[in-house]
Structure 1
Amino acid sequence: MADLVLLNGKIWTVDPSRPWAEAVAVDGDRISRVGTSREIKPLVGRETKVVDLGGALVLPGFIDSHTHFLKGGMALASVQLRDVTGREEFTARVAAKARELEKGEWILEGNWDHEQFTPAELPRKEWVDAVSSDNPVCVTRYDLHIALANSLALKLAGITRDSPSPEGGEIQKDPVTGEPTGIVRDAALALVTKHVPEPNLNARARAATAALRHAAEFGVTSVNDMAEAPIFDQSFETYQKLLADGLLKTRIYFYIPIDKMELFEELRLKTPFGNNWLTIGGLKAFADGGVGASTAYFYEPYADDAGNRGLLAPQMLPEGIMEARVRRAVAAGLQASIHAIGDKANALILDIYERLAAAGPIRDKRFRIEHAQHLRDEDLGRFGRLGVVASVQPFHAVDDGRWVETRIGAERCRTTYAFKSLLDGGAVLALGSDWPVAPLDPLTGIHAAVTRQTTDGKNPQGWHPEQKISLEEAIKGYTWNGAYAAFAEDVKGSVAEGKLADLVVLDRDLFAIEPAKIKDARVTMTMVGGQVVYERPRPSR
């Protein structure tokens, strides 16, 4: 007899051998049978827990292929600036957070977006200095490539008018006075953040637990954590603690910065390594910055900044070091996942992968490019041909679509977030959020991929609608493709016998509603390994 049975559902399995089913039986943490309710009912015994789905849609648990998971947990308790639309409100939110904190405590995260300010301008230290004189401030733009530091934080970092910008970054200075404005970009962020005290293990565990609850609420059963270099060791220690305490309720596929690859080599460690809860996935690297910060690396200058083509990330310098590291990764049996946003950054990484392919097959390495946002026509088919996974975040398309044309012009936007073209070229499209840069909710991402309706409501038919993908393709991107990108398609990513019982139940049938309404759907139940980790509270009568 089964431990758990789900009956009378509408289950889209993402299994081509049996796309639809009505019922599932679970033994332990695995799916033991998939079929009709009539076929599964005989497996109900006296001890079997039975869930009547009442016709609800069931999908494999969502896999988010790109998050900053612990950082997201910390952001849940930080100052919230994502919806701020101007200076007055920005100042007020920082002031309110300063009143909550002890003297000397840092004000961090924030996730502001200056493109929605009126007027659209970067914040300055003067916005917050008067309300945060006792608290260092380093609040990031939502893309994590720019931060605003107040005067106290700049002082702690030793940044003055005479400080040079580091390679791969910028300390912005007032063109009239020469004084730092408080804005630091990319590599310059580390000049400030290295002075932020490390949170202790218990504080990190609380943040991670908040992130786990958040994930369960949205049906996310697995995440890829692209931990930043300054906190990757803290993140992994935190997840180990939660795993040991039996509190890890989301499966984590963890990346280590590529310049720490000697850790793998010294241990002769091949990836993926770990268990079904916590896995070391491979190496994460950066080729460039982001368009919002004007540091994504392009062949041609920015449309609104004729002298600027963006910046190569420090991990790309000196020339040739990234290729050398990826070659070492191949020799060591490690997966490489490289952030590339600008068209030239993407081309450079594809060139590296192509040169490696000339020496021997690389498809089985499942190399990835994270974001793959802005591509040339001639590079679209290279992903599929080389077997490079395109790890993309659909919400960025509908968010950036509000303003990115002013940065890079209409022609380059034609092959921006080119999801359909990538699929047509044979690429595996692994979908994710980039949380906390964007919302963690996969239904928001699926809606974005299927409709491409920008968040300002100005593109009801979709921004570059020719790049829309189907609902089935989007769900597969958040399930089976995510499992494939993490070498885990044999154990998760579809509803099939022998796979982990990671399932999500929705409050409406995505296949029966208008695509524009997908974003209104809600998760009613999330199950990880046959255990219910989230149930949506029923409304009181």
Structure 2
Amino acid sequence: MHGKQSLLGAVLLVASVAGCARHGPEARQAPSPSTTTVYVARRVRTLDSERPIAEALSVRAGKVLAVGGRDEVVASAGEGARVVELGDATVVPGLADAHGHLAGLGQSLAAVNLEGTGSRDEVISRVVAAPATAWQGDWLIGRGWDQNDWPEKAFPGRAELDAKLPKTPVVLERVDGHAVWVNGEALRRAKITRDTPDPAGGRILKGPDGEPTGVLVDNAMELVGAVLPPATEAQREAALAAALARCAEVGLTEVHDAGTDLRTFRLLQRWDKEGKLPVRVYAMADGQGPDRETYLREGPYQGKMLTLRSVKLSLDGALGSRGAALHAPYSDEPSHRGLLLLTPEEYEARVRAFMARGFQVATHAIGDRANTLVLDTLVRSAEATGTREGRHRVEHAQVMRLEDITKLGANGFIASMQPTHATSDMPWAETRVGAERIKGAYAWRKLKESGAPLAFGSDFPVERPDVLLGLYAARTRQDAEGKPASGWYPDQRLSGEEALEGFTVGAAYAAFAEKERGRLKPGMDADFVAFSVDPVEAPVAQLLKAQVKLTVVAGTEAYRAP
């Protein structure tokens, strides 16, 4: 993905995958509006400068009532208040993932999991042993492979799949959602031959003999997506419910859903009206496909736990599949500069249309050329539409020229970034762009110093939705083994509090909700999370083993550890 809506649609789910979520989430059992609950912990980290550290907070009617020392908060709560002892836990404000894909996460829970595979052979072994949930109609679905993790670091081909599954169509989505690996039967059903031209914004990789290799990049994936059998509404419900439950489990109180298709949005609307959303959803309308016309006609939406105020556009592909649009050629493929998924003219037309309709514009931009185009277009279009205060967002802001980093901050745009992308990509990113361009890549500190608000997320299911991993990556720029020892370009590391602010204060600002969420102070929404360690001051290695003990959204417990 790295910001692109997943190709695979809703993957077939059976009861064993979604469990009790197969019929959708249960209605939220909110406490009585007159009930006061006091939560007591070793530490409450409020991110409120007036009282940054406390021992307890009280909650009533979905709002924070008081924050302070245990005795004073319990006394102010009055007789009959419920007191919840959280022991050695640290409570922090509600954590938002500022860039995830709910439908994609649900799909990934059912497909063959190819994450962490160390070779093509390991991929094939997992595919051959696929669970029943991985079938969509008579197609076999998988996701998560990354050729950069294999010894040869080269794209795979259809021959390996054909040797084991010659008659079953197989589609395996790359970890970033910007390429698929398919077999010969899938190519046949999609009518892709040596004579099929590359679609605009896509590549059909072909071998020396001119035949398709079985790897389709960016817009070329749609050729296969068009012939995949559709999922039923029940299957979509199961996938989405499982994804929402997973988010609450890892400590998320809100998700910015990057590119919500219309069917998913209608389902979220229904569940919101029925009181069934366990976490808040800040939806970004899918501005890439045909659903955009409906979103433009209907305009923004505000429900109880669901907001639609943003639109998601994708300008280029991903760095790992060499689809990111660069000013100069790739250092490891001198004949290629990446792909633009929309022409600059079409992109600007969509930006202006959505701005004029009252939408915040959030654009996926990975390569430096894409980032330049996004910034120049946003500046012109915001001026023309009178939306300079629209908090428009650059999703990923991954490889940027230094002058564009300055421009992003100077214009008040939001840098919506994913810390774990840096630690996942660091083994090969410099090979793609070279020693000079890497200085403006994954540059959180440079962007922060430019004045740009940082809103942090994970881009799940490209990365795991576990916020603790993002906090670890932001503080260390290291992998789970602590490598490299000093961190990868360690001058771009953030402090523990700065990392936490990216998932709280920054994400709330990016959703126009800084007066309601992001901090714990009286009158604000009672969204908070209890961790087994202090994510700001604990030794960083402890973050990798820490646990979410409790997730509370609008005063209601969305998840409690067993």
TM-score (normalizing by structure 1): 0.93
- 1:430 maps to what in 2? 455
Report the Cα offset of residue 46 of structure 1: 5.3
Q: Deviations along 1:5-39, whole A, 9 cap, x unmatched? A: 11244111122232222211111211111222122
Equivalent-residue separation in structure 2 for 1:62 and 1:98 (angstroms):
33
- 1:497 maps to what in 2? 522
- 2:325 equivalent to 1:292: no
- 1:146 maps to what in 2? 179
- Cα separation, partners in 2 of 1:76 and 1:509, compared to 1, 3 Å: same
Is the Cα–Cα contact under 8 Å of residues 95 and 128 in structure 1 kept in the other structure? Answer: no
- 2:376 equivalent to 1:344: no
How do 1:315-326 and structure 2 match up within 5 A?
Answer: 315=342, 317=343, 319-326=344-351
Report the Cα offset of residue 394 of structure 1: 0.5
Report the Cα offset of residue 242 of structure 1: 3.1
- 2:71 equivalent to 1:38: yes
- 2:125 maps to what in 1? 92
Report the Cα offset of residue 42 of structure 1: 1.5
| Letter of the structure 2 residue corresponding to residue 382 of structure 1 | K
- 1:160 maps to what in 2? 193
Equivalent-residue separation in structure 2 for 1:225 and 1:101 (angstroms):
24
- Of 204, 221, 242 in structure 2, the residue corresponding to residue 189 of structure 1 is 221
How do 1:24-103 and structure 2 match up within 5 A?
Answer: 24-45=57-78, 47-97=80-130
- 1:310 maps to what in 2? 338
Equivalent-residue separation in structure 2 for 1:154 and 1:418 (angstroms):
39
Partner of 1:512, secondary structure, is: coil
Q: Deviations along 1:280-309, whole A, 9 cap, x unmatched? A: 132111111111111111111111111111
Partner of 1:510, secondary structure, is: coil
- 2:211 equivalent to 1:211: no
Report the Cα offset of residue 243 of structure 1: 2.9
Q: Deviations along 1:419-471, whole A, 9 cap, x unmatched? A: 00111111100000000000101110111111001457541211000101111
Is the Cα–Cα contact under 8 Å of residues 205 and 242 in structure 1 kept in the other structure? Answer: no
Equivalent-residue separation in structure 1 for 2:448 and 2:134 (angstroms):
48
| Structure 1, 525-534 or 443-452: larger mean CA deviation | 525-534
Is the Cα–Cα contact under 8 Å of residues 9 and 52 in structure 1 kept in the other structure? Answer: no
Equivalent-residue separation in structure 1 for 2:435 and 2:304 (angstroms):
44
- 1:443 maps to what in 2? 468
TM-score (normalizing by structure 2): 0.90
- 1:173 maps to what in 2? 206
Is the Cα–Cα contact under 8 Å of residues 426 and 488 in structure 2 kept in the other structure? Answer: yes
| Letter of the structure 2 residue corresponding to residue 29 of structure 1 | G
Is the Cα–Cα contact under 8 Å of residues 285 and 292 in structure 2 kept in the other structure? Answer: yes
- 1:301 maps to what in 2? 329
Partner of 2:129, secondary structure, is: helix
- Cα separation, partners in 2 of 1:51 and 1:111, compared to 1, 3 Å: same
Equivalent-residue separation in structure 2 for 1:8 and 1:94 (angstroms):
46
| Structure 1, 420-429 or 29-38: larger mean CA deviation | 29-38
| Structure 1, 187-196 or 128-137: larger mean CA deviation | 128-137
Report the Cα offset of residue 244 of structure 1: 4.3
- 2:309 equivalent to 1:266: no
Q: CA RMSD in A?
A: 2.0
- Cα separation, partners in 2 of 1:456 and 1:21, compared to 1, 3 Å: closer
Q: Structure 1: give runs of 5+ residues left out of the alignment.
A: none
- 1:249 maps to what in 2? 278
How do 1:519-534 and structure 2 match up within 5 A?
Answer: 519-534=544-559
Equivalent-residue separation in structure 1 for 2:491 and 2:429 (angstroms):
18
| Structure 1, 423-432 or 134-143: larger mean CA deviation | 134-143
| Letter of the structure 2 residue corresponding to residue 429 of structure 1 | L
- 2:303 equivalent to 1:275: yes
Report the Cα offset of residue 381 of structure 1: 1.5
| Letter of the structure 2 residue corresponding to residue 497 of structure 1 | P
- 2:399 equivalent to 1:374: yes
- 1:23 maps to what in 2? 56
- 1:105 maps to what in 2? 138
| Letter of the structure 2 residue corresponding to residue 398 of structure 1 | T
Equivalent-residue separation in structure 2 for 1:248 and 1:135 (angstroms):
37
